[in-house]
Structure 1
């Protein structure tokens, strides 16, 4: 498959497509994605991790930012607590398939306290309005009703991160778009290149809420036990004949079909018999028609997820000290 097609599959938006093509034509490119170490790694994170793996397959270098200072600014705990979670998160990323020999794992605190970094943040602050900074942070801030000064610093730091990590491509969920646009507009004013930005869809939580989140507990963790996965999927929001905003449909589309190439549904003949679905269009059509019952879809999805996440369970079985027990 062409490197461009590999990188673009499953991407909701690329800013811009032409710039991405030019970057790939140069033969050398790098990408980064930042993660707040605030809890378990779930499917929402796994979507961006899979894109980083795609970028590695396409020949790019990858940096994972373990954003401990960002998490601290976003009230996710003490730095010591956050850094313990970050180490556990790092192991989750490796278990999901990121090659530790080809991936740079960088703690934010390892470079974000250096004078040159701080000066760039301050320089950007002089040319960014408070309103713009708050808007950029609004979708990912922990405190939005009574925001503090940290909320305005956070998106400026994200922008400067891209430059100081020497990343050509910034990867994130579509909720990162406003932050990335600040980076594209402001970094050239500081003498840096504007990044290409790849935005992935936001997955709905198991409860049907607009975003999967550790704080809401509406997620499937990548190191969940099979029994837990099956229980969570069985309780998931999945209205009959409804494909829009249906988390069960989304997980099949974005994880099962790309990973396995098909979704196998084993059901008795009296309920239609076994079927194999090979693409998202087919899945949506069958489900919307009512020919596939939610219970059958959930059972098939749970079995597929258990299979896909087997390497993660194997990794932690071989590295028990790497796992950190965190509440759901």
Structure 2
């Protein structure tokens, strides 16, 4: 697989593909950043864009992860101002320990640069060029916007500027970020900065299936990376995974966006009377077998549980020894 195809793999949309092709051809040292707002417990949904970063690493792209604690506060105080540092520490550990990085990404915390004079001055300049309507549209699918605060309209302004201040060539985000990413491409040139390549990954379905959001307040809808082995097994065993169906199947999505990018190929173990073990070289073969009902959901779930338990072992061991941090963050984090 060439570099372009590797970068495009498992993505939903790129603004624009032509800009990406030009970037890969013309620039040798390329950097990409992913911003993760510290809004709540760190769960498996974050591993779709993080899994994409493993592809970036394989393509020789330098990864930067923004621990966006200021953004979490701007988003209707999903992180209180007095917990900015504590949340940042928690998120960094989850990301650092949650994946088998070949090269660890560079971590940057929002509060370390977004409060500086130069940044704030640029934010004010950009705000004078942005209408309330345009900022509202940009923020609409990311911030809470139930009783919109001024801070929620500042959110996309900051996210656009992060591209420049992190010196990134690519911004990575989920499809829910599309309006903000489009805003960044349109508005950064208005203050003298170049537009970047914006790459979007799909959003993963809740373990309960389509129609139920992934939330710490909905039991069984997601998995925190430091949950016990028994909890991981139970949640995966109970997960929505209809036989032969690929669409909106969270189990299949986890294989596509996390397991295969890490393992490259897998072996599903099963008794001889059910066909014996089967080795699968890639996600396309996996989907083909599952669609043809040649793989049973139980066997697929058992393998997924084992893989998640192994991949998340470092994070689980760390938080087993640092339960006071989780306790200080609140019951949703435990």
Counting only pairs closer than 5 Å after superposition, residues 125-274 of structure 1 correspond to structure 2 as: 125-142=127-144, 144-209=145-210, 212-214=214-216, 216=218, 218-274=221-277
Following superposition, the deviation at residue 238 of structure 1 comes to 1.5
**For residue 21 of structure 1, what is the aligned residue in structure 2?**
21
**How far apart, CA to CA, are the structure 2 residues paired with 1:202 and 1:85?**
23
Following superposition, the deviation at residue 216 of structure 1 comes to 4.5
**For residue 12 of structure 1, what is the aligned residue in structure 2?**
12
**Which shows bigger deviation, 158-167 or 298-307?**
298-307
**How far apart, CA to CA, are the structure 1 residues paired with 2:195 and 2:93?**
31
Q: Does 1:34 align with 2:35?
A: yes
**How far apart, CA to CA, are the structure 1 residues paired with 2:246 and 2:128?**
46
Following superposition, the deviation at residue 246 of structure 1 comes to 0.7
Q: Summarize deviations over 1:150-198 as a string: whole Å, max 9, x none.
A: 2211111111111122211111111111101100000001000101111
Please, which runs of 5 or more residues in structure 2 have no aligned partner? none
**How far apart, CA to CA, are the structure 1 residues paired with 2:309 and 2:43?**
14
Counting only pairs closer than 5 Å after superposition, residues 81-100 of structure 1 correspond to structure 2 as: 81-95=83-97, 96-98=99-101
**How far apart, CA to CA, are the structure 2 residues paired with 1:52 and 1:262?**
18
**How far apart, CA to CA, are the structure 1 residues paired with 2:29 and 2:243?**
47
Alignment check: 8 A CA contact 1:256 1:308 kept: no
Q: Summarize deviations over 1:105-145 as a string: whole Å, max 9, x none.
A: 22212222223222222222222222222222222222x33
Alignment check: 8 A CA contact 1:88 1:322 kept: no
Q: Summarize deviations over 1:208-266 as a string: whole Å, max 9, x none.
A: 14654445552222222222210110111122332110111111222222222334332
**How far apart, CA to CA, are the structure 2 residues paired with 1:264 and 1:59?**
28
Q: Summarize deviations over 1:9-29 as a string: whole Å, max 9, x none.
A: 222222222222322332122
Following superposition, the deviation at residue 206 of structure 1 comes to 0.9
Q: Scaled by the length of structure 1, what TM-score is found?
A: 0.88
**Which shows bigger deviation, 303-312 or 159-168?**
303-312
Q: Does 1:327 align with 2:332?
A: yes
SS of equivalent residue, structure 2 residue 171: strand
**For residue 107 of structure 2, what is the aligned residue in structure 1?**
105
Alignment check: 8 A CA contact 1:174 1:199 kept: yes
SS of equivalent residue, structure 1 residue 229: helix
Counting only pairs closer than 5 Å after superposition, residues 267-282 of structure 1 correspond to structure 2 as: 267-282=270-285
**How far apart, CA to CA, are the structure 2 residues paired with 1:322 and 1:94?**
19
SS of equivalent residue, structure 1 residue 304: helix
**How far apart, CA to CA, are the structure 1 residues paired with 2:217 and 2:121?**
33
Please, which runs of 5 or more residues in structure 1 have no aligned partner? none
2:295 pairs, out of 286, 292, 300, with 292
Aligned length in residues:
325
